[in-house]
């Protein structure tokens, strides 16, 4: 008992240290120490504090250094840093871009009335307007006649696949999101963040050191859903230019996240994989994102503790008295089906990994529940089932009786669901029903077995983490059973005089306090 408690305490301690360390790192990212005295030589003052007249100009070019020419596609002559806007412009595509080539956007923030190519106090960034990705296969419907023709075309393709279809082609990024830090922050040269340093352009203005506006191109806003395939017939495509201010703390956070996504792509992540990570940051409020982190972290902790409790409980269990073996068998089957579905849907690893571990534990529980021994004769396994004692046979009778009552509801629902929904949805629905035999067995034996529930943290987790809708709804089915389980815990408290499978009791003299009921 001491070792188990110490191990659990160690895991919880490591988890707490991890959360505190993450909070400290996040604080270091969003907080920047300002220069306390602006008159000191080590202070770097903002150029925007002087309220200069600015202009925003955007060009396109075939190369990031504009070698080979550039084309002006949009300009904001009276650019106000504090005013956000959204413009839609049509961009003419060069022939090289239409032939599976690339195109870049060159964004300049410069003094009004001057050419950005001649302004010494201009800032500019280059962003790629195209990306390479394998085209999406045509969606096939078995109902429409037109889609059926497409299906026949797919069937006629060679088994190895068409190399032209499998080859990445150029796609148009239809959004360009720009940000400028609007706050008049004074940097301390001795505490200048390394992530901001690459965006900082400093010049000497008398005795003062001044930094030009911090211009930022938000690459995280480029989502796969906004991509448009470029072909040889594409001559002009729309580009949505969005601008908004950004705080220094959010800018630093965004730089780190953008670098993280880029690093993942360098390690082999596809555009779709990176897009899922982008969606976490772009479509979520930062405060909600922090809540997501804590809920996901606590969910993983509770999953681990629940798995540990489940394994400890079943590892010590030698008898199935009072336990519904059919519920264990069904839970194993449904958990495996759900895991395969989540794997096929490419669900978040925060959902997929616990589901996979749970599936392996459920298989092991079935082996324990039915007392299965596996004997290998070469490569051929032989399964031997253990025998049940009188108390276990009585449990099986109650379990069979519960299934009999359940079948009155199960069979009509099976017929209805088979006509209306898929097999997987039936697994989700019946998974709830097959939790009920254990409650019936508890009722007949007038006691409950301890079980691990983290259902309410699952509810919050289901709202925050990306997962299929059917799996999200299935998280709430456990709440009903859990409430009944709590009522049974109150109705049938621990009976310390009850003999366990070893013939031992906690207290031979204490009488059971369970409230009786009539069968």
How many angstroms separate the CA atoms of 344 and 336, rounded? Answer: 12
Classify 346 in phi/psi space as left (phi over 0), alpha (psi -120 to 50) or beta: left
CA angle 424, 430, 432 (to 5 degrees): 115
Classify 224 in phi/psi space as left (phi over 0), alpha (psi -120 to 50) or beta: alpha
How many angstroms separate the CA atoms of 419 and 280, rounded? Answer: 37
Place of tokens 């449990």: 395
How many angstroms separate the CA atoms of 61 and 54, rounded? Answer: 23
How many angstroms separate the CA atoms of 130 and 175, rounded? Answer: 11
Q: Token pair of 365, please?
A: 């529980």
How many angstroms separate the CA atoms of 16 and 8, rounded? Answer: 12
Place of tokens 């995280």: 220
Largest Cα separation within the chain, whole Å, is 97
Question: b or e along 80-92 (b: 16 or more beta carbons within 10 Å of the residue's beta carbon)?
Answer: ebeeeeeeeeebe
Chain-centre distance of CA 4, in angstroms?
A: 32
For the chain, the C-alpha Rg in angstroms (whole number) is: 32
Residue % of the chain over a pLDDT of 70:
72
pLDDT value of residue 139: 53
Q: Token pair of 21, please?
A: 């360390």
Residue 448: which of 474, 480, 481 has the closest Cα?
481
Q: What digits encode the pLDDT tens for the residues 132-142?
A: 888 776 554 44
How many angstroms separate the CA atoms of 149 and 278, rounded? Answer: 36
| pLDDT in single tens digits along all 519 residues of the chain | 445 456 778 878 888 888 888 888 888 888 899 988 777 788 999 999 989 999 999 999 999 988 878 999 999 998 999 999 999 999 999 989 888 889 999 999 999 989 999 999 999 999 999 988 887 765 544 444 444 444 344 444 444 445 555 688 889 999 999 999 999 999 998 888 888 988 999 999 888 899 999 999 998 888 888 888 888 788 899 999 999 999 999 999 899 888 888 888 788 777 777 887 787 777 767 777 777 777 777 777 877 877 888 888 888 877 777 777 777 887 888 888 888 877 887 776 767 888 888 889 888 888 888 888 888 887 888 888 777 777 777 878 877 787 777 777 766 766 665 555 555 555 555 555 555 566 666 666 555 555 544 555 555 555 555 555 555 556 655 666 667 767 767 776 655 565 554 455 545 444 445 455 555
Q: What digits encode the pLDDT tens for the residues 294-340?
A: 777 777 787 787 788 888 888 887 777 777 777 788 788 888 888 88
Q: Specify the 3-state DSSP secondary structure of 339.
A: helix
């Amino acid at each position: 008992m001491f070792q188990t408690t110490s191990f659990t305490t160690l895991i919880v301690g490591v988890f707490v240290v991890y959360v505190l360390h993450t909070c400290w790192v996040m604080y270091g990212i969003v907080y920047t120490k300002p220069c306390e005295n602006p008159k000191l030589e080590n202070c770097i003052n903002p150029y925007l504090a002087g309220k200069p007249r600015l202009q925003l100009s955007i060009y396109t070019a075939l190369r990031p250094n504009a070698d080979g020419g550039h084309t002006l596609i949009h300009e904001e002559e009276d650019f106000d840093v504090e005013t956000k806007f959204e413009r839609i412009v049509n961009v003419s595509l060069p022939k090289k871009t239409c032939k599976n080539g690339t195109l870049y956007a060159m964004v300049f923030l410069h003094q009004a009335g001057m050419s950005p190519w001649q302004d010494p106090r201009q800032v500019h960034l280059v962003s790629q307007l195209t990306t390479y990705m394998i085209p999406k296969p045509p969606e096939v419907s078995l109902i429409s006649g037109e889609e059926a023709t497409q299906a026949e075309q797919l069937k006629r393709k060679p088994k190895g696949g068409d190399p032209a279809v499998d080859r990445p082609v150029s796609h148009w990024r239809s959004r360009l999101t720009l940000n400028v830090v609007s706050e008049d922050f004074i940097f301390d040269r001795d505490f200048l963040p390394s992530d901001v340093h690459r965006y900082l352009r400093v010049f000497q203005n008398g005795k003062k050191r001044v930094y030009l506006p911090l211009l930022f191109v938000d690459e995280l806003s480029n989502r796969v859903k906004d991509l448009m395939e470029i072909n040889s017939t594409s001559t002009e495509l729309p580009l949505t230019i969005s601008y908004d201010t950004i705080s220094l703390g959010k800018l630093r956070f965004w730089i780190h996240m953008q670098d993280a996504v880029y690093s993942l792509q360098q390690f082999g992540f596809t555009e779709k994989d990176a897009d899922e990570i982008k969606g976490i940051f772009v479509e979520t409020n930062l405060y909600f994102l922090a809540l997501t982190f804590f809920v996901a972290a606590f969910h993983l902790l509770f999953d681990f503790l629940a798995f540990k409790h489940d394994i400890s409980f079943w590892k010590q269990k030698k008898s199935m008295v009072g336990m519904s073996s059919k519920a264990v068998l069904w839970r194993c089957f449904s958990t495996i089906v759900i895991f395969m579905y989540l794997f096929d849907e490419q669900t978040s690893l925060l959902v997929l990994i616990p589901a996979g571990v749970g599936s392996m534990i459920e298989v092991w529980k079935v082996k324990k529940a039915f007392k299965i021994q596996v004997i290998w004769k070469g490569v051929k396994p032989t399964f031997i089932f253990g025998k049940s004692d009188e108390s276990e046979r009585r449990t099986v009778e109650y379990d069979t009786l519960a299934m009999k009552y359940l079948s009155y509801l199960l069979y009509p629902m099976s017929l209805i669901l088979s006509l209306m929904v898929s097999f997987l949805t039936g697994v989700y629905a019946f998974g709830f029903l097959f939790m009920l035999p254990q409650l019936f067995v508890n009722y007949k034996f007038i006691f409950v077995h301890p079980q691990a529930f983290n259902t309410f943290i699952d509810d919050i987790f289901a709202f925050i983490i990306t997962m299929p809708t059917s799996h999200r709804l299935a998280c709430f089915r456990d709440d009903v059973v859990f409430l009944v389980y709590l009522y049974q815990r109150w109705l049938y408290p621990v009976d310390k005089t009850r003999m366990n499978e070893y013939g031992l009791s906690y207290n031979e003299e204490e009488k059971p306090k369970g409230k009786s009921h009539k069968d």
